[in-house]
Amino acid sequence: MIRTYLREATPSFAWRNRLGNWRTEIFAGLVGAILVIPQGITFAYLAGLQPEYGLYCAIFVTLFCSVFGSSSMMSGPNTAVAILIGTAVLPLAGRGSPVYIDFVFLLCLMVGAIQLLFWLMRGARIFQYLSPAAISGISAGAGFLIIMASLDSILDLSTFKTTFFYEKIYVIVSDARDLVNPYSLFIGLCTIAGGYIGRRFSPRFFIIIAVTTGYLSGLLVAFVWPQPVTELEYLGRMPIEWLPLHLPNINMEYLMMSTLLIPYAITIAFIGLAQSLVIVRELKMETEQDINLDKEVYAQGLANLLAPFFSSFAGAGSFNRTKANQSLGATTPFSGIASAGFVLVLITFLGPILTYMPMAAMAGTLFIVGADMIKWRDIKHYAQVRAELVIYLATFISIMFFGLATGVVVAVFLSVSVFMLRISQLELSVEPIESGILLKVKGALFYASLAHLTEKFHSHVGKNLTVDLQFTTHIDQSAVDFFIRESRNMAAQGVRLTLLINEKQGYFLKKMGANSDIELVAV
Amino acid sequence: MLALDLIRPLCLVTLLILVPSIGLAQQGQPSIQQLLQEPFLDDYYSNVVYGYEIVTDTQNHASRYVGNSLNCSNCHLQAGTQQEALPLNVAGMYPKWRAKNGKRNGIGLRIRECFLYSLDGIMPPEDAPEVLAISAYISYLSQGQIMGAEPEGRGVPTLPDTGYDPNPATGRAVYLEQCASCHGAQGEGVAGMPPVWGLNSYNKGAGMHDIREAAGFIWANMPLGNGKSLTHQQALDVSAYLNLQIRPSDPRDSKFLKLLEHLIN
């Protein structure tokens, strides 16, 4: 037991033997780095932090996750995690202020610790119960939130906040002349157009095309109108360090207030792992990588736990970068390690150019990312089964109105409910036999499925009953209690209850003391 | 959404419990030195301290928006607490009504303008954490001032008319004699001293680029530690000399130059 834990806890580097073509891996890492830079910057914005924290996330979370993990999954800044960090910490302190940053790091420590706890409890399996419809619903909802957040920057609405999205749309529409910054809007639209046209030519690098278009249109605007007129928001100089060590600030006062963060920490830990595991599971099915899910949980948790020590916030697996990685032929964690290195190098050299990157261009790419997360295909796909559609839509709508954290809770609740409903269906067949009636039961007999059985019992009052339990998958205590109660009732009416059981069930029923009231027949 | 609804009141309650425990409740405001020693500060005071750090060390704490090598406190002496040296206890003077655009211009805009001109950088967005922190610091400094009343020693003294035009040639002599030891013969500044011209100094849109404003500042405060030793005419001359030197262009008129300058830097 401890051996397994230890083996999972140390970086294995077993992939070294599979490292056939290291050039492919390095190239994939480079592409990953180019893709992650705009993401890191914009997701830091979503989390309410300065852009460099997002880049540190793209470097260190990716690095640790690849070093300790076993797959070619690319971890790093993640939309849902970033949005949740923002919603969690904003009520406690002003955006980006020192206390805010302290709380973000505290929150990330908690997230990492909770994820490690998941690993210790072998929690990877839990995530299988989250239905795919729920995950798509969460992703679509996050996409919607991202679009709304990107509007803030595209229209330059920095100082105005609303609770619900429709208020915002109403205010924007009714007060457009005063509120909207036309220069910013122009750059944003150029970026979005660049992205969608660019996608025709290069489905993989269109984000880069979008960013470049945005940057150039920003230069154009800056060339004609000075900044005091346009009031454009720029990225600014980023004080990037190669080793941004940082000791998270923890004291009694923070800990007292941090209890408010716990529900969010759990949600973030959960949603982060859920996404990473979906990616890893897909990789496991589609490639020949030797992937250990528990090890991935560990790697993600440890990366998030270590992140605050490197001035970075928590992250999770990234769908689009893992896909790009895969399509370039990378099969080992080495591409992730290379990507982390390339981000560092690229940022050091690109930094001065990025200074004049308009935030509207960054927000434009954010808009594209968000729009991509709401997939018409998904809706059509889930529309085929009603329960799935309900989960998908309920999740999406509750995120739209009440935020991501609530949406995740709804999604989990609905997935589990549907799951429970499904497994509490019993397959019952009734046959008349000479001694009375034979009832064959298939499925799991537990508190939730008993109602179904009770009905059948009560429609055959006054007859001898033989219940065939050989094909039930599980019997719990409440089911045994139920049989004992019924058999006593029946005995009072002068009829008998017989259970046909297999060996294992016999053992359990005897332990529960059922043999004194019920006639048990082993088959 | 229960969680979010609960957070706000809980937060307030926690703050109410915490604030007295720092011992701020009765004795007016703690000094910056006291604040720096506290292990924990609430949102307001941590912003005040952050604002103080930005003003005294803009290069490290707000480097995102800075384009030269000055700090706010190079002009706003003693971290904005010295009279006649552009003190920052001016929160009560804002927002100002400006007929031109029919808007009220808050202290935020003034701060952002100093970033753009005096620090030759980028105008931060209105809600940038740096701007909010400096605003917090300014309202901290302005504690006890009367709303709308000009605080004593605001800005720099206005020099009386001397009857002569400022003469850069005499200014040059004054500069070499009195100022070059600290600010360098080329105005580049020696270790620890700020440059007064060149691409690392304030740009042509800055308040300091105004001859009378700079002369007032120089007369009252320079040479550092020996203020008011120059005559009014000397201050005007040296200020005119500084004005003639090369420095970053005004971001309002030469956009292309501006970009080039930034790419070179």
Give the lowest-confidence range in A5-14, A290-299, B201-210, B244-253: A5-14
pLDDT, mean of residues A346-363: 86
pLDDT at res. B18 = 46
Name the pLDDT band for A106 (thresholds 50, 70, 90).
Answer: very high
pLDDT at res. B102 = 53
Other beta carbons within 10 Å of B192: 6
For strands A427-433 and A436-445, give the pairing: antiparallel
pLDDT at res. A16 = 73
Chain B residues closer than 8 Å to A233 by CB:
125
For residue range A119-137, list pLDDT tens digits in order: 998 888 888 778 888 888 8
Which tokens in the block code for residue A283? 């990789």
Three-class SS string for chain B?
CHHHHHHHHHHHHHHHHHHHHHCCCCCCCCCHHHHHHCCCCCHHHHHHHHHHHHHHCHHHHCHHHCCCCCCHHHHCHHHHCCCCCCCCCCHHHCCEEECCCCEEECHHHHHHHHHHCCCCCCCCCCCCHHHHHHHHHHHHHCCCCCCCCCCCCCCCCCCCCCCCCCCHHHHHHHHHHHHHHHHCCCCCCCCCCCCCCCCCCCCCCCHHHCHHHHHHHHHHHCCCCCCCCCCHHHHHHHHHHHHHCCCCCCCCCCHHHHHHHHHHC
pLDDT at res. A161 = 65
CB contact under 8 A, B4 and A254: no
**A426: nearest Cα among A447, A441, A448:** A441
pLDDT at res. A60 = 94
Closest Cα of chain B to A100: distance in Å?
8
Q: Which of A334 and B40 is assigned the larger pLDDT?
A: A334
pLDDT, mean of residues A53-63: 93
pLDDT at res. A231 = 81
What integer best gives the mean pLDDT of chain A? 86
Tell me the HSE value of A69 on the side-chain side, using a 13 A CA sphere.
34
Instruction: Decide: B73 and B56 in contact? Cβ < 8 Å.
Output: yes
ipTM score assigned to the predicted complex = 0.78
Closest Cα of chain A to B181: distance in Å?
32
Chain A residue with minimum CA distance to B6? A260
- The pLDDT of residue B98 is above 80: no
B14 touches chain A (CB under 8 A): yes
pLDDT at res. A194 = 93
Name the pLDDT band for A115 (thresholds 50, 70, 90).
Answer: very high
pLDDT at res. B51 = 92
pLDDT at res. A425 = 84
Instruction: Decide: B51 and B135 in contact? Cβ < 8 Å.
Output: yes
Considering chain A, what percentage of its residues have pLDDT values greater than 70? 98
pLDDT at res. B109 = 85
Chain A residues closer than 8 Å to B258 by CB:
226
For residue range A21-38, list pLDDT tens digits in order: 788 888 889 988 988 888
CATH no., domain B168-244: 1.10.760.10
DSSP string, A99-135: HHHHHHHHHHHHHHHHHHHHHHTTGGGGGGGS-HHHH
Other beta carbons within 10 Å of A128: 13
For residue range B158-183, list pLDDT tens digits in order: 888 887 888 888 888 899 888 888 89
CATH no., domain A427-522: 3.30.750.24
CB contact under 8 A, B11 and A159: no
Helices (H), A69-97: 79-89
Residue A448 parent element (H or E):
none
Chain A residues closer than 8 Å to B127 by CB:
95, 158-159
For residue range A162-195, list pLDDT tens digits in order: 667 888 888 888 877 777 888 999 999 999 999 9
C-alpha span between A199 and A220 (Å, rounded)? 23
pLDDT at res. B52 = 93
C-alpha span between B262 and B243 (Å, rounded)? 21
Residue A90 parent element (H or E):
none
- The pLDDT of residue B17 is above 60: no
Q: Which amino acid belongs to residue B190?
A: V
Give the lowest-confidence range in A102-111, A220-229, A478-487: A220-229
Closest Cα of chain B to A93: distance in Å?
6
pLDDT at res. A167 = 82
Would you list the domain boundaries of chain B? 37-141, 168-244
Chain B residue with minimum CA distance to A254? B40
Q: How many residues does chain A have?
A: 523
pLDDT at res. B2 = 44
Chain A residue with minimum CA distance to B253? A226
CB contact under 8 A, B65 and A93: no
Instruction: Decide: A297 and A273 in contact? Cβ < 8 Å.
Output: yes
C-alpha span between A346 and A209 (Å, rounded)? 17
Q: What is B37-141's CATH number, 1.10.760.10, 1.10.3720.10, 3.10.110.10, 1.10.10.10?
A: 1.10.760.10
Closest Cα of chain A to B237: distance in Å?
31
- The pLDDT of residue B76 is above 60: yes
CB contact under 8 A, B47 and A94: yes
Q: Which of residues 113-152 of B touch A (CB under 8 A)?
A: 113, 116, 121-129, 132-133
For residue range A339-352, list pLDDT tens digits in order: 999 999 998 888 77
Cα–Cα distances (Å) from A495 to A58, A109, A465, in that order, read: 71, 63, 8
- How many contacts (CB atoms, under 8 Å) link A and B? 110
Do B168-244 and B37-141 fall under one CATH topology? Answer: yes
pTM: 0.83
Name the pLDDT band for A159 (thresholds 50, 70, 90).
Answer: low
Beta-strand runs (E) in A245-287: none
Closest Cα of chain A to B1: distance in Å?
6
All CATH 3.30.750.24 domain ranges of chain A, comma separated, are 427-522
Closest Cα of chain B to A81: distance in Å?
17
Q: Which of A211 and B148 is assigned the larger pLDDT?
A: A211
- Residue to test with chain B: of A50, A87, A90, A97, most B Cβ within 10 A: A97
